Structure 1
Amino acid sequence: MITLENISKIYPGSPRKALDDLSMTFEEGTTTALIGPSGCGKTTTMRLINRLEQPTSGRIWVNGRDIATEDPVMLRRHIGYVIQNVGLFPHMTVADNIATVPRLLGWNASRIQARVEELLELVGLDAGQHSHRFPAALSGGQRQRVGVARALAADPPVMLMDEPFGAIDPLVRGRLQTEFKQILQRVKKTVIIVTHDLDEAIKMGDRIAIMREGKLCQYAPPAEVLSSPADAFVASFVGSDATLKLLAITPVKQAMEPALTTHHPHQLEASATLKDALALMLSRRTDSLTVIENSAPVGVLTREQLFAHVQSDTAHVINERNV
């Protein structure tokens, strides 16, 4: 768990606070996306957690310990860090890049080799093919995978990711986001992602923290942010297509009617989202779909069910907030 307690940050010569009495808690094992306009304080927040910056006032706790009392170097060795341009050492091989922190921690050679091979497999790279290559020989997506592997090398409880997919080709970015979300779900880390892309925040985050001028505007699960924005700024930031974004994160299974046999010719995988379902309905000019899992029918989804689910979900979120 990471807790920020009344954090303020003032840079010398700045007319305003970069962070203004910010308090929030990042629950253990969850992924939080920090997002907001340029200059809102999201990157400063991340850098404070890693002690790359010092707060003007307030305290930060990681796993119950005040990081101001920790040695900064040792603290960083137990926090994985992934940045936009990856930051791999160009003169070192892929294997040596991944092994950087384990070597600093005194791991023996056989343990390091096993860990490198394990992580390359985890991020979808063949150890025999990539271990001895240098970063210049890799694609942007491959370098990003190696960057994540390096951040995970010493099995840190916390991972900080600063615009991790910002430099990736748009055609590759969505697939990498999906793959890394699955990886993060398996390794169970407390992850903080700084992003300027709302779609990425919605896709990657268990919770989203929307910031403005150093203050926290809303901190909630994606569905709540989309269906019940906290104020006019958040509503404007989310945009007029919030319902479509909500469809994109809602699994078909939540809205379908279970059925073992169906007669609807158009099929959709149960792992798809309601946005996928709506797109298929529109393209096939149909009002109903058969939902399948392992090639067998498990339910039916109609257009009426789809929109009724979104409306009921929105109403539920609003009622929960009012309570």
Structure 2
Amino acid sequence: MINISVDDLKLINLISSQGSFAKAADILNLTRPGVSRRIKSIEDGLQISLFKRTTRKLELTYEGRRFVDHTVAMEQHWIQAIGEIQSQKAEPTGKLTVCSLDVLNRRLTQNCLADFIAQYPKIELSLLTTHEPPATNKFDADLMLHIAPLDEQAFINEPIVLCQQKFYASPAYLAKNGVPQHPRELGAYRAIECTEQTRGREPGYWLWFEDEIAHKVKINSRMQCDELEAAMNMALNDCGIVWLPEYLVQQYVADGRLVTLFNGKFANSVIIYAIYPRIQYCPSTTKTFIHFMRYNKQFGVPLPPQNNPISLP
């Protein structure tokens, strides 16, 4: 009987969610040939094909879909079991200062920090806000949450959550202007461009991904703002199409005030990093907050902890 580990389940689930061996390998910091060999080994052991591979796309087979239905549930049970075991350990105590992007801080305070405070009453939490890329001369916290890593050997950049950046518009805007069928058509619509997203990227263009290849489309960005939430509010007021992280708009999609275009396809993946000093002993308060951020389900798909890497032959 084939020996399938929890890490194998995580790998299969990530490939399924990303629709790509290459993306899963890059997210987990693994070699692409290693990922392919491991999946083939699992398929040979199970005597089924999990994925249909073509030159254009990767899809689950019928057997693969049934298998993933079980593996996702198994991974969630494993996460829950680990959380329950860790909660029985000595209660984390002490001060913790967390610095994060302004939009992340607002999502934290609105959606999930009340749960953290209730679950860990002996942690004294301080929140700081940053609008800049992480830098050593501005690192005044125990832990920073950011979508850009800190390129400095004295710090660890731990990927904790994978979030999707998709295209959205209000039902009223789409009813009046029509619904684009592909990102190539976005230039014919009014776009709400956020300059906060243009750092390191060409202004006036949005990115979309297909077959693991990044493409760009020139947009009609007659409306611009410098904050993601401002762009979202303009979209809620029927002003045009926006390109935003899923965690920011999910409540408005759920209540029907925004529509996800293209059924969520062509999304850009964005990683949220936990950045902290590379010291021999990582305080339990820092570990606790990272664990909470990874699995609170408010920001996206949890990524495997670095201290338990997936090993492949």
* Structure possessing the higher radius of gyration over alpha carbons: 1
Larger RCO (CA under 8 A, 6+ residues apart): 2
TM-score over 0.5 for the alignment?
A: no
- With normalisation by structure 2, the TM-score equals 0.24
- With normalisation by structure 1, the TM-score equals 0.24
